Structure 1
Amino acid sequence: MSMYDVVIVGSGASGGAVAYTLCQAGYKVAVLEKGRLIKREEFSKDELAYCRRDLVTPNLFDEYHTIEEKVDGEWVTTPTYESGWSFWNGNIVGGSSNLMSGMLHRMHPDDFRLKSKYGEIEGANVVDWPISYEELEPYYTLTEELVGISGKVEKHPFEPPRSTADFTQPPTKENAVVKLFDKSCQALDITPLVTPRAVLSKDKPGRDACYYSNRCGSYGCSSGAKGSSREALLKPALATGNLTLMSNTYVKYLHTDTKDEVDHAVVVDTVTGKEKKIQGKIFVVAAQAHESARLLLNSANAHHPKGLGNSSGEVGKNLIFSGGGSGQGELHKDSLKEIKFEDLMTTGLFVNRSILDWYFIDHWWDGKFKGGSVEFMFEHQNIISRARKDNYKDGKLVWGKELGERVVSRFTEQKSIRFEVFNDWLPNDNCFVSLDPVHKDKFGMPVGKLRMEGHPQDLKVGNYIAKKCEKILEEMGAKNIYSAISSTPPQNLVAGGCRFGNDPKTSVLNKYCRSHDVKNLYVADASFMPTGGSVAYTWTIYANAFRVADHIVDVLKKRASYQV
């Protein structure tokens, strides 16, 4: 049985960053990935396969979660194979980083000290981070270069400070709608910013620039332009000869012979069904927050009766998602201003605009509170989902000629512009993952049971920002404007569950994301985050995983020096 220097569970953004760093440093690494390998040339824009079937996620009758939601004051549990609500996000090599839209932002320095800035919030478990923005900034910069993030630095009071003057990649190409958008924002005294995007605008060695397919989010990239873990990190890690990539490998649990160290992982080959052990000196869990917590809980034994690394009882607690929601308006051919309709209808080019003006609110009338960020984009270009919209009249489905006319009009006479609000999901006692006492997956392991409840402040902030965004759409001349802010969590933005901190009694991991209890166990995905900021997590996940990987390299070097 081979002994690896480091065994990593999961191949997404965090697993890829750790693998890349360690392989470049000369260490032998095994990456265990439950899903299969899909090569670049195999990715397609098949809406049925990627968005309406389970090509890249498990069948919910084989692997699922149970969801606890409050109904009439009582907690009711429903398996996701009944609701159809999937919490799997790209179970393939490279994980969900293959399928992201790639709209990334750094967290703000004050996101690392929310409790110090705003104090206690009743009903929320807000704490300061044990590290500062300044400690993470070099790794944000490293991510920008290695993963490939395109953009343009513009002055703004809520833009985090940078150690470099600008991005190494210019912004991706923009649709003419940005002229109308920017002018409308300026009329409202709002500052539009170019969105940093993990999509190459220029070729990079081994990867081609964006080809503007019109379908980015939800789909894999056929040029290598998207900054996925698979493209940016795992491929160069494999080229070192130090990485063993084990796809179709499901990890049942981590085994400890002593209280202090993991000695092997027990895994199942998902193709043959055979079980085996994978040995390592150091183990890094990077399976996505809710699944990482589940793995630690499923690894309970005599030494760790409450779950691996769970002496605090905090594993699975303070799960966070992203607060906010979305809105939309339609730009119509007969009322469009500033730009030509045919330019608006040009396919593939990005809107590439973000708003940070409401990231922190300190207003004499509205009060002082943490706000959020907004991304603007065109509605998702999936043909089927667009064709199915608004096909009701007086509560009844429209059929025949009238339906055909509606669909033609929708595709040829208007284009919808959309916004997505991201604000903090406040951690609270009723948002956590535990093990379901009854339900098991096809491998015989208890499934994750997610209890989900948002904090009232999340809705207050989301609605505040959405109303501001509706004003922008109104200024643009959009029609049929609406927004929807909800406490229903987005399944693709999950963090927390193994928060890091300095006190082993109240946190699972130390500042380097090493278990307080188990000295060779790290958790490198978004599980470590005690709060999530008001941006998508991916850039921070990448950056922190690079930071953790550097620490692991130092640990391995010290081990080697002791043995000489």
Structure 2
Amino acid sequence: MTYDVCIIGSGAGGSPVAYELSRAGFSVVVLEKGKEYKEDDFNKDELAVSRRELFTPDLKDEQHVIYELDESKERRRYLGSDYQWSFWNGSMVGGSSNLMSGYFHRMKPNDFKLLSTHGEIEGANVADWPLSYEELEPYYEKVERIVGVSGEVVAHSFLEPRSTSHFPYAKLEENGVTKWFDAACKSLDFESIPTPRAIIPHAALKRHGCSYSNFCGSYGCATGAKGSARAALLQKCDARVITEAFVYKLESDATKVTKAHYYDSDMKTHEISAKIFVLAAQAIESSRLLLNSKNRFFPYGLANNNHQVGKNLIFSGGGAGEGRFRFETLTHEQQKELMEVGLFFNRSLQQWYEYKKSSKKIKGGTIDFLFEHQNLVPRIKRAFYDEEGKILWGKALEQKIHKELTTSRVLNFEVFNDWLPTDECFVGIEEEVKDKYGIPVGAIHLYSHPRDREVGDDLAKKAVQVLEKMGATEINYSISSAPPPNLVAGGCRFGENPKTSVLDKNCKAHALDNLYVTDASFMPTGGSVPYTWTIYANAFRIADILRKRLES
């Protein structure tokens, strides 16, 4: 059988295409490397998630080789299995969208024209998108309705243009401490905004509402309230999903992809033929697959005769910080508010999405505030040492754990700003290191532009001001060049010039007539927000383009 469309990967980049085209009557097959889990399979097994990496591959079987370039230009090599350095996210139907926290901010209009707005930056390969915010806006709105985004639209300095005046789902229930945050921001003349979430507050879209367990990030959602690609899209469409199918090669002639070759769980090989192939395996793995798919027409890797596949890999710049609130400094009413279980702390700051520094206009970013994860394993690990750094045992440890968990609480913040694309950050192939399938693994070359950390530090200092005003203690933050593995993009950037980009405006490979890439690989710059909403929106856009092509 030859399918109309073969999709490699079932996450936020692939599922909208499967959803739209299968519902339109086309034959669609999805090849997913991981297993299928449903709501009944998800629970709050903290050891499985915190200590055993239940949803990601064993690094002994599948890994990456990492090359880290520091500021002195010295490059160090790390074998992922030796250093337990993993760049895997969620290997399952729906991909890492199952495990996201669901912080959904739209990119801003200037994110699509970073070069035009802010000019060239030395040492960075900044480029404008061949797409405008206005062209993508209808698809942001579509994601709100179909995937389910809750929140409240409030006026602020960088509120993006919207075709609707409100979110389709009311904001989630909030912890009382948000009142302290709002008051602190008001006194500082900061603009507090509710954080949009890809979580529905009540039963809708044939899914249950949020149970307020506070186990969102890194955990699958047992109610289906979280807008994962699986719960929101794949479980509602007619696409055929083949699980535990590792695609190791795309076969092509000079102009078209003809087959996808994959291994099943028994290490047996299979092939799929289709009219159109959509690659959405996650930015690093999509580049790796193309680079490993060499043939006589593409000796450097599929769609890579211009040597651009894998280039301009980006993550999210920024970092994180925290402050602790202790009962000793709070009223009885404040203590009750602080310890309210499960309710969200959905607050963000975008007042410095762009700002001036030394009379120069700088691209800034987003600060999200959230309570420390409900997961007890990392929270208890904090209590292992006394104030002098000596390890605690027995009764002393028991008392400290009890006090930390019952009479104090940590408020975290996360900073999101652009990770500038550079020549030094890219994906290659490590020919000498192979995975369990015998396929060369991806080589991830890491480098963070100094501007990334400078901006992250500026934003973190604003967050610290809020925590101080709220009365938090033990405040600290870290802005570093360490990349967040769950926020990765680039490698197959789209653009109008075939010499400097892999894909055209419609995310079709310049060099092949029927290959599209719809995960975050297409992004030439990442904006200053988490990527998932934009990946979803763009994939819905490409689905419309493919539908018209198949109908013609």
TM category, shorter: over 0.9
1:138 paired with 2:125, answer: no
CA–CA separation in structure 2 for the residues paired with 1:144 and 1:265: 33
Aligned partners of 1:338 and 1:513: how far apart in 2?
56
How much does 1:337 deviate?
A: 5.7
Q: Distance in 2 between matches of 1:155 and 1:76?
A: 46
C-alpha contact 2:506 2:542 (8 A) present in aligned 1: yes
Q: CA shift at 1:406, angstroms?
A: 1.2
Where structure 1 has 5 or more consecutive residues not aligned to the other structure, the ranges are 559-564
Of 499, 522, 528, the match for 1:528:
522
Per the TM alignment, residue 404 of structure 1 is displaced from its structure 2 partner at its CA by 1.4
Aligned to 2:32: 33
Q: Is 2:264 the counterpart of 1:244?
A: no
User: Is the 1:97–1:229 Cα contact (8 Å) retained in structure 2?
Assistant: yes
| Alpha-carbon displacement from aligned partner over 1:512-546 (angstroms, at most 9, x marks no partner) | 00000010000000000000000000000000000
Match of 1:322 in 2: 316
1:263-302 aligned at under 5 Å gives the runs 263-270=258-265, 272-302=266-296
Query: Counterpart amino acid of 2:376?
Result: I
Structure-2-length-normalised TM-score: 0.98
**CA displacement 1:399-447 (0-9 Å, x = unmatched):** 2222112111110110100100000000001100000021010101110
Aligned counterpart in structure 2 of residue 371 of structure 1, from 364, 369, 372? 364
Q: In structure 1, what is the Cα distance between the partners aligned to 2:216 and 2:549?
A: 39
Identify the residue that residue 470 of structure 2 maps to in structure 1: 476
Q: Is the 8 A contact 2:146 2:205 kept in 1?
A: no
Matched residue, 2:306:
312
Q: Distance in 2 between matches of 1:428 and 1:353?
A: 32
Deviation at 1:44, TM superposition (A): 0.6
The whole-number CA distance in structure 2 between the counterparts of 1:97 and 1:493 is 11
2:257 aligned residue: 262
Greater Cα shift, 225-234 or 366-375: 366-375
Deviation at 1:57, TM superposition (A): 0.7
Task: Say whether the 8 Å CA contact 2:50–2:377 is kept in structure 1.
Answer: no
Residue type at the aligned position of 2:442: G
> How far apart, CA to CA, are the structure 2 residues paired with 1:190 and 1:294?
43
Deviation string, structure 1 residues 228-284 (Cα, Å, up to 9, x no partner): 00011101113xxxx11100111011001x2100111011102x2110111100000
Residue-by-residue CA offset, 1:368-416 (whole Å, 9 max, x unaligned): 2000101000011211110011422433212222211211111011010
Give yes or no for contact 1:336–1:477 (8 Å, CA) kept in 2: no
Structure 1 letter corresponding to 2:16 = A
Matched, 1:58 2:51: no
Work out the CA distance in 2 between the residues paired with 1:171 and 1:113: 31
Aligned residues: 550
Shift in Å, 1:54: 2.3
1:97 and 2:97 are equivalent in the alignment? yes
Question: Does residue 5 in structure 1 map to residue 4 in structure 2?
Answer: yes
CA contact (8 A) 2:383 2:397 kept: no
- Superimposed CA distance per residue, residues 447-503 of structure 1 (whole angstroms, 9 cap, x where no aligned partner): 000010100000100000101110100000001000100110000000000000000
Q: Which amino acid aligns with 1:546?
A: F
- Corresponding residue number in structure 1 for 2:249: 253
Structure 2 Cα separation of the partners of residues 338 and 236 of structure 1: 48
Is structure 2 residue 388 aligned with structure 1 residue 392?
no
1:340 CA displacement: 2.4
Aligned-pair CA distance for 1:202: 2.1
Q: TM-score, normalised by structure 1?
A: 0.96
Which one of 347, 358, 364 corresponds to residue 353 of structure 1?
347
> Which segments of 5 or more consecutive residues in structure 2 lack a partner in the other structure?
none
Q: Which amino acid aligns with 2:180?
A: L
Matches within 5 A, 1:118-267: 118-238=118-238, 243-256=239-252, 258-267=253-262
Matched letter for residue 216 of structure 1: C
Alpha-carbon distance in structure 1 between the residues aligned to 2:69 and 2:502: 27
* Aligned counterparts of 1:87 and 1:419: Cα–Cα separation in 2: 22
SS in 2 for 1:291: helix
* Alignment deviations for residues 71-110 of structure 1 (CA, whole Å, 9 cap, x no partner): 6743222111011111110100000000100011000000
Change (3 A) 1:337 1:321: farther
